[in-house]
A = this chain, B = another copy of it.
Amino acid sequence: MNIEIISIGDELLIGQVVNTNASFMAQELNKVGLNVNRITTIADDAQEIESSVLAALNNSDCVLITGGLGPTKDDITKYTLAKLFDSKMIENKDVLENIRNIFNHRNYVLTPTNRRQAQVPEKCKVIENLVGTAPGMCFEKDNKLIVSMPGVPFEMKEMMTKHVIPILLSHYKPSAIFHKTIITQGVGESFLSDMIEEFELALPKYIKLAYLPAPNMLRLRLSARGENQKSIKQELDTQVNKLMPLIEDYFIGFDEGDLSLLLAKLLLEKGKTLATAESCTGGNIAHCITINAGSSNYFKGSVIAYSNETKINVLGVDEEAIKTNGAVSEEVAKQMAIGALKKMKTDYAIATTGIAGPTGGSEEKPIGTVWIAIANNKGKCIASKHNFFSSRENFINRTTNECFAMLIRLIK
């Protein structure tokens, strides 16, 4: 059973909007064991829509369409689908009432343009949209479902999770699926793949292994699928237990999320607090921590010391230490971490100092060099040196994840 997603919108083809809709839909479908075999992005163009839907019906068992349902002239999806499924347009009372409610709520006057949104093809089953004015539509042809949803992300998300997924599950009745995600860190994809080659080749056919790389971190996801829920779940556990000893040097946690969330969980569990002192990461560590709701429960703050004066004046780094060792050195990294720990009175502090590039390297300290230090409130301070030579952005992301991993390993 395969699903094709068709994303409609000129804005997607000029790169103005990133297609987050398709990835959200794919994620939700994957969770419940429904397989997406293709995502196609096309323009708001009747001929393109028609030929793409027909091609998708040819290749797949289900077609999910987003976009082109707005009130303006360039939104033509529903008229095109009406024509394709040989259906006339009728005004739907429930949809009209929903539109009226939304307009009343916003104190807007209902114009004829907006009222047109209550028109739907007679042959479709209307899917309600309580957070917007464009209804969803579900067609059926040769036992295949064709669903059209709005392209506005929060409208699509609401409709997808509340209505479309249940419709698909009851129509297609997919087999059960279970996932287990293992986060590894400090090993490249190709090395890990070599290490677990035998394991991978010996996996039963109904268990799939996916490599999900991120900067300086690699998730492995095992997904088991089948009719007998109990036995596939058991087999998934067996395989995870077989895998663990092979990767134990790099294993850092089980999670669907990223390292900042893994660290957050640990800090909260242990009731510990954190501060950071960032030079080369420029605030990215603090940003990755504080993007998570509730981070003020364990994160006290950071000093972004982007100049030597700030290192000296705000973090209390010794001027001589910078003169003697340079700003990118073990000594300065450690002093930064200890300074942050003391200033912000936390249990742990992370510090980074390095050369992000694209300029500023030397023979002794090439671009990509970074010192990371972690201090705790028991007087201990460790440091490690790395080279994450790459683009500036990637350097920052890799350093950030290295910091999270170091601290996770230290406290878990």
Contacts and interface: CB of A to CB of B under 8 A. Distances in A.
Interface string A282-313: 11111101110111100111111111011001
Interface string A1-36: 000000000111111111110111111111000011
Interface stretch (A70-78, A372-380, A404-412): A70-78
B15 A24 contact: yes
Contacts of A114: 190
Interface stretch (A167-175, A264-272, A392-400): A392-400
A319 interface: no
Interface in A349-395: 356-359, 387, 389-394
A113 B23 CA distance: 30
B304 A304 contact: yes
Nearest to A155: B391
A28 B15 contact: yes
A237 B204 CA distance: 64
Interface string A188-204: 11110110000010000
A325 interface: no
A206 interface: no
Contact of A39 (B12, B200, B212, B289): B12
A70 B210 CA distance: 13
A331 interface: no
A318 to B, nearest CB: 17
Interface stretch (A40-48, A83-91, A138-146, A245-253): A40-48
A345 interface: yes
A273 to B, nearest CB: 9
Nearest to A112: B194
Contacts of A27: 14-16
Contacts of A73: 193, 200
A37 interface: yes
Interface centre among A12, A189, A310, A396 (most CB of B within 10 A): A310
Contacts of A309: 300, 344-345
A310 B154 CA distance: 31
Contacts of A200: 73
Interface residues of A, number: 101
A392 B41 CA distance: 28
A93 interface: no
A337 to B, nearest CB: 15
B11 A212 contact: yes
B313 A307 contact: no
Contact of A190 (B71, B290, B343): B71
A345 B309 CA distance: 9
A105 B389 contact: yes
Interface centre among A14, A22, A154, A194 (most CB of B within 10 A): A14
A111 interface: yes
Contacts of A344: 307, 309-310, 313-314
Contacts of A111: 190-191, 194
A131 interface: yes
Given A74-B211, A190-B72, A304 B291 contact: no
Nearest to A366: B105
A61 interface: no
Nearest to A310: B301
Contacts of A12: 23, 26, 39
Given A18-B18, A73-B193, A300-B307, 6 more contacts: A13-B38, A13-B39, A113-B193, A154-B391, A290-B396, A303-B314
4 smallest beta-carbon distances between A and B, as pairs: A282-B290, A15-B27, A283-B286, A15-B26
